[in-house]
Structure 1
């Protein structure tokens, strides 16, 4: 085994001993053409749906003071 592979394997073994395991996840490719436009489209759809949901609006209004204090 090469030096690099050996070092990586040691690191993985150490992480496994702490109770962790590797996980492979697939995420959207932010470099793909059209990604930004699709994000914008989906955000507008969510905003439109939220604007007609009075329970959600009330919840957001009630929790806003808590969220604002996180950034102080």
Structure 2
């Protein structure tokens, strides 16, 4: 999976939040999000995949209203 987040700042931010929530300490992932991004670690790729999967829910206003 190769997805360039440099031009999609919202998706990158979502991936970073997911990464930090799922891998909160060195026990879970020994590197920061930025380092994982640079190395394209499995942890980074999983966070990006999760962000890609949730993106339609975050951008669909009708879905947002239904969740309220």
TM-score interval (norm. to shorter): under 0.3
> TM-score under structure 2 normalisation?
0.28
- Answer 1 or 2: higher relative contact order, Cα 8 Å, separation at least 6: 2
> TM-score under structure 1 normalisation?
0.27
Find the structure with the greater CA-based Rg. Answer: 1
